[in-house]
Amino acid sequence: MNWPTVLYSEEIMREGLGIARAKIALADRVRLLEALSDTGLKRITVGAFVSPRYVPQLQDFETLLRAFQPRPGVEYLTFMHNPKARLKAQEFSPPLTLEPEVVTLFQDICDVHQRRNVNRSIEAAMAAWPELIADAKSRGVTRARAGIASVWGSNFQGAFSREYRLWSLEQQMNILQAAGLEVFEIGLHDSQSWCLPHLIEADLQEIKRRWPQVRQFHLHMHDARGMALPCLYAALRVLDASDTLLIDGTLGGLGGGQYCGNGMASGMVATEDLLHMLEGMGIPTGVDLDRLIECVWMLEDMLGISAFGHVAKAGPRPQRPDQHYDPNLPAVESLQGARHFKLGPSAYTDEAYSPWKQPITGPWFRGPDDSARNH
pLDDT, one tens digit per residue, over 116-150 is: 988 899 999 999 999 999 999 999 999 999 999 99
Q: What is the pLDDT of residue 61?
A: 84
Residues 206 and 345 occupy one common structural domain: no
Q: What is the tally of structural domains in the chain?
A: 2
**Could you read off the pLDDT of 223-256 as tens digits, one per residue?**
999 999 999 999 999 999 999 999 999 999 998 8
Residues 264 and 327 occupy one common structural domain: no
C-beta of residue 231 within 8 angstroms of C-beta of residue 189: no
Mean pLDDT of 297-325: 94
Residues 300 and 340 occupy one common structural domain: no
Does some domain include residue 332?
yes
Residues 180 and 303 occupy one common structural domain: yes
Q: Which residue has the higher pLDDT, 15 or 7?
A: 7
Domain that holds residue 350: 321-362
Alpha-carbon distance of 280 to 317, in angstroms, equals 9
Mean pLDDT of 75-93: 80
Q: What is the pLDDT of residue 236?
A: 98
pLDDT band, very low/low/confident/very high, at 87 (cuts 50, 70, 90):
confident
Q: Which residues pair with 232 in a beta bridge?
A: none
Tell how far CA 279 is from the center of its chain: 16
Mean pLDDT, all residues of the chain: 91
CATH code for the domain in which residue 77 is found: 3.20.20.70
Q: Let me know the angle formed at the C-alpha of 216 by 211 and 157, rounded to the nearest 5 degrees.
A: 75
**Could you read off the pLDDT of 95-110 as tens digits, one per residue?**
999 888 899 999 999 9
Q: pTM to 2 decimals?
A: 0.93
Residues 190 and 326 occupy one common structural domain: no
With a cut of 80, say whether residue 369 has pLDDT above it.
no
Does some domain include residue 369?
no
Q: Evaluate the omega torsion of the peptide bond into residue 94 and state whether it is cis, within 30 degrees of 0.
A: yes
Does some domain include residue 368?
no
Residue 51's identity, in one-letter code, is S
Residues 152 and 190 occupy one common structural domain: yes
Residues 147 and 19 occupy one common structural domain: yes
C-beta of residue 270 within 8 angstroms of C-beta of residue 309: yes
